[in-house]
Amino acid sequence: MIQMSLYEWVYLVTNVFYVYTIYKFMKVFFDTRKTNWYIELVTYIAFFILISAVYILIDIPVANMITNIVALICLTYNYESTIKNRVISTVLIYLVLMSVEILVVIISDSIYYPIFETINYSSVYGLIFCRVLTYAIVLVLNSFKNIKKGEPVPNSYWFCIALIPSASLYLILLLLQSSRLAVEQVMTGTVLIFFINFAVFYLYDVIMNAASDKIQSLLILEQNKYYNRQLETMNSALQTTKAVRHDLKNHMISIKTLIENNDISGAKGYVTEIMKEIGTWKNFSDSGNTVVDSIINFKFQEAEQRRIRTDLDLKIPNKLDIPPLDITVILGNLLDNAIKAASMVKSDPYISLKMRYDKGRLMIQSSNPYIGKIKEEKGNLITTEKDKENHGFGLQNIKKVIQKYDGTVDIDYSDNLFSITLLLYLD
């Protein structure tokens, strides 16, 4: 039976608090609202058991470091995110943990800190202080609200953000292995590296916020484009109607003359020409909801120009409790994807759009035929034919909006018919 010292027992007890600190760290980088709490709990218990066992049985810094980094990466898979964000979060989290631990060890015991040898550190007070200090830092970092948005950033930005903490880990290891440096020099270097990477947290948060603002600006521009087209359509229709009404008396005289002369065919042709002129600008959607009508009229106008048949079924109120930007993301991406896919279908291309609102629930369904093959990987749609960008593009943006309303996304693409049904809870 393994005989454990007081320090090791305290380590196990405080390790529970340490694991909770890791959980708080994850909330800095990831949205935890959609996580399966049971699986999350099991993985954190497994994390506790793993790092505790490695420490008690091996207690070599390099082994602890590798175990922690691998385990932290595994924990990130409790949450929806990108590989880039997982890498950055893991490196930054571990860098903070390692920096605090090294500083506390040096301050409390002033010892050499080899990474390939067992450390004879036994300060219970130092251990407790390390846990408390780490938790305090996490509380400060939780003030950064934009990191968890996970907005896409240019690869050059991501490379710089990842390079700094990765290089910092290496520099800390070099400091620890240098026997020529005084304790104060190692401590100063570690503190400086820590604050440099604290600044990286701040910059990462700022970059994510800037990326989010850029997306919002693009969406506003897109929405304004819909509004302008809707206004142009309405003005053109109004001018055409005014012109017809102005000449209505003359038109009626001409039709009457044709009928009196028994030229029924001519009269029908004359009426047809008037109707064509009046109907030059078609108003597809007239629900009274300006945002919805603007987007649908704009997109359906494009669809008809591509000779795509459109079918619309709307039962929504004049006002919906959803921001214009969110409905723009949903309808804009749905109809863009549908138009791209249907335009490649030679036989009877069409788009069907249905919207229903009932007791706080908004249902949106879009369907259209497509050609080629579609496969799904990790929730993302990937096509293997030339039309591989027709679906899947923008779907992640739609899902992000749906998550805000605790909604669902149901996709079916059997028999070359693509159908997507969205359900949002607005109340």
Residue 381 placed within a domain: yes
Separation of CA 190 from chain center:
35
Residue 222 placed within a domain: no
Q: Which two tokens stand for residue 69?
A: 């980094």
Query: Which domain covers residue 119, as residue numbers?
Result: 6-217
Residues 254 and 181 in one domain: no
Residues 37 and 163 in one domain: yes
Residues 134 and 274 in one domain: no
Distance in angstroms (rounded) separating the CA atoms of residues 133 and 190: 15
Residues 310 and 255 in one domain: no
Residue 231 placed within a domain: no
According to the model, what pLDDT value does residue 387 have? 47
Pick the last residue of a domain from 217, 234, 262: 217
Percent of the chain exceeding pLDDT 90 equals: 19
Residue 239 placed within a domain: no
Residues 72 and 209 in one domain: yes
Residue 234 placed within a domain: no
Question: Per-residue pLDDT tens for 154-165?
Answer: 677 777 777 887
CATH label of the domain that carries residue 308: 3.30.565.10
Question: Per-residue pLDDT tens for 235-251?
Answer: 665 566 566 666 677 77
Q: How confident is the model at residue 347 (pLDDT cuts 50, 70, 90)?
A: confident
Residue 236 placed within a domain: no
CA distance between the termini of the chain: 59
Residue 407 placed within a domain: yes
Residues 266 and 142 in one domain: no
Higher pLDDT, 350 or 81: 350
Q: What DSSP character marks residue 23?
A: H
Residues 32 and 171 in one domain: yes
Torsion-angle region of 367 (φ positive above 0: left; ψ -120 to 50: alpha; else: beta)? beta
Residues 273 and 408 in one domain: no
The reported pTM is 0.56
Domain count, the chain: 3
Residue 225 placed within a domain: no
Q: How confident is the model at residue 393 (pLDDT cuts 50, 70, 90)?
A: very low
Residues 186 and 74 in one domain: yes
According to the model, what pLDDT value does residue 149 have? 65
According to the model, what pLDDT value does residue 315 have? 92
Residues 270 and 289 in one domain: no
According to the model, what pLDDT value does residue 246 have? 64
On the question of pLDDT at 110 being above 80, the answer is no
Burial 403-412 (b: 16+ CB within 10 A, else e): eebebeeebe
